Structure 1
């Protein structure tokens, strides 16, 4: 071994512990150049170069050694770093009330391929998840991509460490269904490489938005969203999901916002879950929900096409007030530095941001002293991207160890 090879190996050994942090910086877009990577890691330029070269050799990132100079700039531009578009993928899937979607997701949260299945979800989780895994395996065969693992987003609180779905009401699964165990077995039986993970869909949406979307840079990020039925919440603290002692934190749907309101399946009345979801919006607007498309799509279509109609306008104001009241309570308890809204709540924010901000400010202690930014989620299929983040995490933690078997 010559001197140059010895020096390169020594630099890489020094920086081996930085491979994971370096990959996460490129994955989240926070290190677009080697100069930024060097500064963020706190290593020498040579060590950062060795780390980048190793990640490139693993097929995870690309290094542009001859980037074009910006107009008017002086000096040699730093090597540009980006994820490798032809690299490995994670299999991600989301189950909801009227079907499922499967996708292959690369580093950077980029969806490579996607497919969906429609129809009312079976009461047998194994049947639904079997279709999900079969669809995902088909995408892997079609693309020929390496797979690092699989992640599943479900519309239910998921208890830890068992991985059981405790309230899958809107997909008619039995309470306590062992969804993680079933999903992992089906993934393994299908010959799909890597570990399998399962988590709540709103938690995963928040994780994806924090890494790639509207939540980037927030230290205490609160996400509240409504999908086809019900309302979910999630909290990201310093880059990590806060899931509580057993995975069940932030069940925000059971905040009471209308004490004399609709009965909730939890036994209370007027919970956010039944007062600020698509079904509540449609009924408040005097519309009978139909079976042709999802409740979320029906509510979105109504809000976008008939916003000026008196009944729709009243329903919009009513749900904004209920949502704002719930958010104000959460601000008082959590004091987040940013709130992001998904699903129909994003549409309500777009419809009248001033009204929502006013309600939150008026009903929260901290809203009066400094307004909390309330922003729409920006990622398409953010729960899918978040499910992929679960599968990518072992690679982000230890790229060499995770990819060695592949």
Structure 2
């Protein structure tokens, strides 16, 4: 009798232990599916280091929360033997995060699901008001309209801005290419707008290039990199970001990697920071258009510059401008390689277009000017995600769910 009771107690303890382990594993499991690293239950089991039964329970719990889909009867690949493992994917009709981005040429709102999938977008105006509250109120209204139209549950909101965002205050210290005042309380204003619109969930704010790097590391060209350097130029200016062991390196107060203010042309243009010849004013779309000798058009600086690089490559003036900007960009990247020793570099915005126009020239400049470049080379790749800053803003809103799915949604 006592032996049977002990056996029942052990079985009960085992079940309870499996349940506790399963709940602890919910967040890590969701992140594995979210980033595409666990396409099957077998892979999930191995990655989590749990039993098949526990992995199955975890997958079932995430499916019940509406976060993932489990295909229990996937078709087997031709020539394979045995029963294929259950396939896991993010839920196509699951919750979304509201993502917002503000830049010099306008704003955009989007709904982004797990897996970095953009569900819907709403481009905004081309003129950015000098009042942050006015702009952020408009972009949140555009996002709220998308939520009404789709009927999706919202887990939270994230905002990408073209400025360093100081922590923990959430202030935009230097929105140089917007008419916003330095030190604008963007996180507080954004959170107020989200609350006033009746949108559920927390609100977050970050620098646009930081968020682009986060998105690319999880879903794009940066996947698998341990020390990832991202340098990008959007509509105006240049930004940089570093992802170390899967986490953004933002420094002691959120202000790390202001790479736009590396000097690459000492006799170059005056920079907004007070220096001269910085990457920020020597390799952005406005600098490219000036080097070509054309005036900005209504289509927007980034769109116009990309079009010229792609379609007018044979024009001598365009070709000369491409080479000049590549040389300046390469000089800046070489300095960053010497300091940071990344295992991969990804380029976005106009820099992506410059890389694609003449990859050998850019890689040669970096290799020639950097100690580590000469010793083996650092892969330099183009960013692959459309609207990666928006996807990164959504990642901020998704993070509490990835940390604790039951706590955030249960």
Is it true that 1:307 corresponds to 2:313 in the alignment?
Answer: yes
TM-score, with normalisation over the residues of structure 1? 0.97
Q: Partner of 2:101 in structure 1?
A: 94
TM-score under structure 2 length normalisation: 0.96
- Runs of 4 or more off by more than 4 Å in structure 1? 3-10
Once the two structures are TM-superposed, the CA of residue 13 in structure 1 deviates from its matched residue by 2.1
Please name the residue that 2:110 is paired with. 103
For residue 331 of structure 1, what is the aligned residue in structure 2?
Answer: 337
User: 1:278: how far off?
Assistant: 0.5
Residue number among 132, 143, 158 corresponding to 2:165 in the alignment: 158
1:118 positional shift: 1.9
Give RMSD over aligned pairs: 1.3
The count of aligned residue pairs is 401
- Choose which of 342, 346, 349 in structure 2 pairs with 1:340: 346
Shift, 1:287, TM fit: 1.3
SS of 2:187 mapped into structure 1: helix
Correspondent of 1:318 among 314, 318, 324 = 324
Kindly indicate whether residue 265 of structure 2 is the aligned counterpart of residue 239 of structure 1.
no
How many angstroms does 1:301 deviate by? 1.2
- For 1:120 and 1:6, how far apart are their aligned partners in 2? 63
Q: Which moved more, 1:225-234 or 1:280-289?
A: 280-289
Partner residue, 2:139: 132
Aligned: 1:12 with 2:31: no
Are 2:239 and 1:250 aligned? no
Aligned-pair CA distance for 1:348: 0.2
Would the aligned equivalents of 1:210 and 1:216 in 2 still touch at CA under 8 Å?
Answer: yes
1:368 equivalent in alignment to 2:374: yes
Residue 146 of structure 1: CA displacement?
0.5
Q: Secondary structure at the match of 2:194?
A: helix
Listed as ranges, the matches of 1:5-404 within 5 Å are 10-290=17-297, 292-404=298-410
1:138-158 superposed Cα distances (whole Å, 9 cap, x missing partner): 111111111000000001110
Give, in whole Å, the separation in 1 of the partners of 2:365 and 2:106: 35
CA shift for structure 1 position 169: 1.7
Q: CA deviation at 1:14?
A: 2.2
Query: Which ranges of structure 2 fall in alignment gaps of 5 or more residues?
Result: 1-7
Structure 1: runs of 5+ lacking an equivalent:
none
How many Å apart are 1:12 and its aligned residue?
2.4
Assess, with a 3 A threshold, how the Cα gap between structure 1 residues 88 and 6 changes in structure 2: closer, same or farther.
farther
Give the distance between the partners of 1:146 and 1:289, measured in 2 at CA: 41
Question: How big is each residue's C-alpha offset from its partner over 1:227-273, in whole Å with a ceiling of 9 and x where there is no partner?
Answer: 11110000000100000000000000000000111110111110000
Structure 2 distance, partners of 1:381, 1:226, is 13
